Amino acid sequence: MNMVNDKIIFTGPVGAGKTTAISSISDTPPVSTDVACSGEERAIKDTTTVAMDYSYIELDNGRRIHLYGTPGQQRFDFMWDVLTNNGLGLVLLINNNNPDPVGQMEFYLDAFADFIRKTGVVIGITQVGISDNATLADYQSKLMERQQIYPLFEIDGRSKQDVRIMIHALLAVLST
Amino acid sequence: MSAQSLNISALHLGETEQKILHVAVRLLQEDEFACQLLGDSDCTGHIVVLDMDSDAAAETLQKLRSSQIKILLADEQRSDRNLVSLAKPVHVETLRFVLGKVCKQLMLHLQKTYDEIVQPAEFSQPTEIASEVNDAEDDYEEEESSLLLVMLEARDQKKCVKIEEEGMPTIYIDGNKSTIASEMDYEHVLEVGLHNNEHHLHKSEFGEKDVDTAADDISLSSLDNFLWELTLKSSENILPDDIDLDTPIKLKAWPNFTRHGFHPDNFKIAALLARQPNSQRNLIEATGLGEEVISRFINSCYAVGLIEVQNDENPVEVPEKRQISEERSGLFRRLAMKLGIA
Ligand SMILES: Nc1nc2c(ncn2[C@@H]2O[C@H](COP(=O)(O)OP(=O)(O)OP(=O)(O)O)[C@@H](O)[C@H]2O)c(=O)[nH]1
Ligand SMILES: [Mg+2]
What one-letter code names the amino acid at A11? T
- What amino acid is encoded at A142 in this protein? K
pTM of the full predicted structure?
0.68
What does the alpha-carbon distance between residue B340 and residue B280 come to, in Å, rounded to a whole number? 28
State how far the alpha carbon of B40 is from the alpha carbons of B44, B49, B241, in Å: 11, 12, 30
Closest to A164 (Cβ–Cβ): which among B254, B275, B339? Answer: B339
Domain boundaries of chain A, sorted by first residue: 3-174
Cα–Cα distance, B179 to B162 (Å, whole number): 12
DSSP A53-106: EEEEEE-TTS-EEEEEE--SSGGGTTHHHHHHTT-SEEEEEEETTSSSHHHHHH
Q: Which CATH architecture has domain B237-342?
A: Orthogonal Bundle (1.10)
From B253, B257, B264, residue closest to A149, measured CB to CB: B253
How far apart are the C-alpha atoms of B222 and B178, rounded to whole Å?
Answer: 6
Question: Domain B6-140 belongs to what topology?
Answer: Rossmann fold (3.40.50)
Domain with CATH 3.40.50 in chain B: 6-140
Residue B332's Cα: distance from chain center in Å? 39
The residues lining ligand 1, judged by C-beta closer than 6 Å to any ligand atom, are A 12, 14-20, 45, 48-49, 71-72, 126-127, 130, 156-158
What is the rounded CA–CA span in Å between residue B242 and residue B245? Answer: 10
pLDDT one digit per residue (tens) for chain B, 342 residues = 445 578 999 999 888 888 889 888 988 888 888 889 998 888 888 899 999 888 888 888 888 887 788 898 887 767 677 788 887 777 877 788 888 888 887 777 776 654 443 334 333 333 445 554 544 444 333 434 689 999 999 998 988 998 988 888 889 898 888 888 888 888 899 999 999 888 888 888 877 666 555 555 566 778 888 998 899 888 888 888 888 899 999 899 998 876 555 678 899 999 999 988 999 999 999 889 999 999 999 999 999 989 988 876 655 555 555 678 888 889 999 999 898 865
CA distance A116 to A110: 9
Architecture of domain A3-174: 3-Layer(aba) Sandwich (3.40)
Cα-Cα end-to-end distance for chain B: 63
d(CA A143, CA A146): 5
Our measurement of the distance from residue B150's CA atom to the centroid of its chain's CA atoms, rounded to an integer in Å, reads 11
Predicted ipTM beyond 0.90: no
State the DSSP H helix or E strand holding residue B155, giving kind and residue range, or none if neither. helix B147-156
Decide: A136 and A143 in contact? Cβ < 8 Å.
no
Q: By three-state DSSP, how is residue A75 classified? A: helix
* A44 close to B (CB below 8 A): no
- One digit per residue, the tens of pLDDT, for chain A of length 176 reads 344 568 999 999 988 999 999 999 998 776 766 566 555 555 555 566 556 788 899 999 899 999 988 877 666 666 777 788 889 999 999 999 988 999 999 999 999 999 999 999 999 999 987 777 888 889 999 999 999 999 999 999 898 989 999 999 999 999 88
User: How far is Cα B70 from Cα B78, in angstroms, rounded to an integer?
Assistant: 11
Closest atom, ligand 1, to C-alpha of A155: 31
Counting ligand 1 atoms within 8 A of each CB, the residue from A34, A44, A45 with the most, and so the one to mutate, is A45
DSSP for residue A87: -
Top residue of A139, A141, A143, A149 to mutate, by most chain B CBs within 10 Å, is: A149
For residue A34, what are the contacts with CB-CB under 8 A and spacing of at least 6? A19, A47, A48, A49, A50
- Residue extent(s) of CATH 1.10.10.10 domains in chain B: 237-342
- Cβ neighbours for A169, distance < 8 A, ≥ 6 positions apart: A122, A151, A153, B267, B270, B271
Going by C-alpha positions, the residue among A97, A70, A109 that lies closest to residue A154 is: A97
Q: Which helix (H) or strand (E) holds B241?
A: none
Report cis status (omega within 30 of 0) of the bond before B89: yes
CA distance B195 to B230: 11
